[in-house]
Amino acid sequence: MHIHILGICGTFMGGLAVLARAAGHTVTGCDINVYPPMSTQLRDQQIGLIEGYDADQIKLKPDLFVAGNVITRGNPLMEAILDAHLPYQSGPQWLAQHLLHDRWVLAVAGTHGKTTTSSMLAWILEYAGLSPGFLIGGVPENFGLSARLGIIENGQTPSPFFVIEADEYDTAFFDKRSKFVHYQPKTVILNNLEYDHADIFPDLAAIERQFHHLVRIIPRNGLIVTNGQDSALQRVLKQGCWTPVEQFGTAESWQMTVQDQSLSVSFQGKLQGVLHWDLLGEHNRMNALAALAAARHAGVPAQLGIEALSYFKNVKRRMELRGVINHIHVYDDFAHHPTAIRTTLAGLRDKIGSARIIAVLEPRSNTMKLGVWQDNLATSLDQADRVFCYAHQMGWDVSSALALLGNKAEIHLDLPAMISTIAAAAQPGDHILIMSNGSFGGLHDTLLDTLRSCSGISS
């Protein structure tokens, strides 16, 4: 089959393209954001890329057009497809029908931690010799790629297991259901649930309704692994549940306790093993418990899962140390929701004690740009000693939102000037935490270069 993917450079659609190519399909695609690293990854897979959405692309005559959720009515190629009555599907629908229909799908859903938890789960299954396929919204460092088909060693048979990051964002302009309802999982992790995606959901209840649509399709011989501390998820399950449920984060089920430099993992009050790792924060401990429970449902004993996690290398852009210049540590993190910002800072604070934290934030997500979280932003940053916020093209008053932080917060509209100010303010022993769900204009490398220059260190 030849598929032509509209919006191919998005994380999900790019991963789908790699999987389709590995499964033997001919894949081409187009996007308006054709640049590395996704463009390089796709071209390495011999996937033809076209810049833009010119209507003449219908002359490629693929068997099917696959539309990403970035595509809207008015897109010239999509309009040509509709006018010519050509066949098209959404990405999640194509994935479900062609790659997931006969596999044991393990789906990871939730507002926070989907990428990290999916990566942990895929790594546990890999360590156990199960060779899972996966599609993850980041690059797990244990694998070095965001998607793979999953082939059993020394053969061409797909592994029965497939791990997918199950996003609640809508599927396509013609299908406003959440992506995750298409995947028909047998094992589901419900990590947590907060209000997000204000551009498509009017309130938390609307998101809870979508999560319950997911719960409705999990089979009786499946398993729901859910955060026992999350009241929103409890409301979801109370709407009706037909599948066994295991909780994590409670004394009655999966729990992790800190003992010196190690973590004791228990299930239903019985010790399962001791975990040694370097990941920061309570949120990552909860992610690990969820992954262990889901892997156990797939047949991996908890003790083996704990052993696997001791070799887990995390995900790029999740507290990723980008460099150390003159004893100044610079980290990159994907945090863009107040809860994620708060927990990321708390984890770093626990690790470094009283050393200074300089938080650098780009409020870039659609929900952040709409100002939905402006009342929560200052308190999410209160663990930082200095805060620099890049408030370019914001539709609300960021200065007022951060006024609670007093003179330790600075608002900048000029990125180069902000970088220079951060470099001048940084001192040996500081930890600079950069948070954005985008590229932040290449700030990370530019800041490291500026710090080298200020320190007289050659690159």
pTM of the model: 0.83
Give the mean model confidence (pLDDT) for residues 165-178: 94
Helices 415-425 and 443-455 cross at an angle (nearest 10°) of 40
In the chain, where are the structural domains located?
A: 2-91, 102-309, 320-455
Quick check: 200 pLDDT over 70? yes
User: How does pLDDT run across 339-373, given as a tens digit for each residue?
Assistant: 888 888 988 898 899 999 999 998 877 777 777 77
What percentage of the chain's residues is helix, strand, coil (to nearest 5)?
A: 35, 25, 40
Q: How many residues belong to the chain?
A: 459
Most confident of 33-47, 119-133, 314-328: 119-133
The answer to whether 185 and 105 have CB atoms below 8 angstroms apart is yes
pLDDT-based confidence at 35, cuts 50/70/90?
low
Q: What angle do CA 99, 100, 103 make, to 5 degrees?
A: 120
Which token pair is 374? 């402006």
Q: 102-309 sits in which CATH class?
A: alpha beta
User: How does pLDDT run across 41-81, given as a tens digit for each residue?
Assistant: 788 888 989 999 999 999 999 999 999 999 999 999 999 99
So what's the architecture of 2-91 in CATH?
A: 3-Layer(aba) Sandwich (3.40)
Which token pair is 190? 């419900």
Amino acid at 305: G
So what's the architecture of 320-455 in CATH?
A: Alpha-Beta Complex (3.90)
Q: Residue 140 and residue 118: Cα distance in Å, rounded?
A: 9
One fold for both 2-91 and 102-309? Answer: no
pLDDT-based confidence at 153, cuts 50/70/90?
low
Amino acid at 295: A
Q: Residue 13 and residue 135: Cα distance in Å, rounded?
A: 10
